[in-house]
Amino acid sequence: MTSFALLFTLSSIGISETVYLIQKRIASEKPVCPIGDNCEIVLESKYNKIFIIPNDVLGLLTYIVISFIAAFLVIEIEPIFLWIFIIKILIGIASVISLFFTYLQWRVIRAWCFWCLMSAFTIWLMAITILMSGTI
């Protein structure tokens, strides 16, 4: 239950981050960068999309699916094993993609984006929650 609560809370934080970035992108405004001032270099780089889908939209969809699955697991909606399998796969893939994007910021773009790093840490915290949890 505690791990589901953590996953739900982290996915909600992720939703709020990505919604903020999508709003700013649609309004063509620069997002606030609490640490550093290179957010737009990263957000406007050629790596801001996977195929034709912007990364913020992909992130939002991922967080929404994770929050729904965490809620289903709390309410105990069947089939539990399938939800656990999907959430593990999803967070695993998202962790690897976040690792790749962090590498891109560090070595290729050579600029750091606060919101991208926060999203990566949110996903990694979810992965740690799953790894340390005995129930999932």
Partner 1 sequence: MKKTSFHILRVGLAITFLWIGVLIFKQPEAWGGYLMPWAAGLLPVPIEQAMMGTAVLDVIIGALLLYDFFVWFAALVGVIHLIIVLAVSGITDITVRDIGILAAAIALMADSLPENFINKIRHKIFRRSS
**Using CB under 8 A as the criterion, which residues of the chain lie in contact with partner 1 when the complex forms?**
5, 8-9, 12-13, 15-16, 19-20, 23, 32, 34, 67, 71, 74-76
Min CB(5)–partner 1 separation in Å: 7
Residue 124 near residue 98, CB atoms below 8 Å: yes
Nearest distance from C-beta of residue 32 to partner 1, angstroms: 8
Q: Which of 67/102 has CB closer to partner 1? A: 67
In the complex with partner 1, which residue's Cβ is closer, 76 or 78? Answer: 76
Enter the tokens of residue 109.
């773009």
Q: How far is the CB of 17 from partner 1 (least distance, A)?
A: 9
Smallest distance from partner 1 to CB 10, Å: 10
Task: Give the residue with the Cβ less far from partner 1, 71 or 104.
Answer: 71
Nearer to partner 1, 1 or 52 (CB): 1
Q: Which bin fits 26, alpha (ψ -120 to 50), beta or left (φ > 0)?
A: alpha
Distances (CA, A) of 113 to 43, 72, 81, 109, 116: 8, 33, 36, 10, 5
Q: What b/e sequence results for 84-114 when a residue is b if at least 16 CB atoms lie within 10 Å of its CB, and e otherwise? A: eeebeebbeebbebbeebbebbeeebebbbb
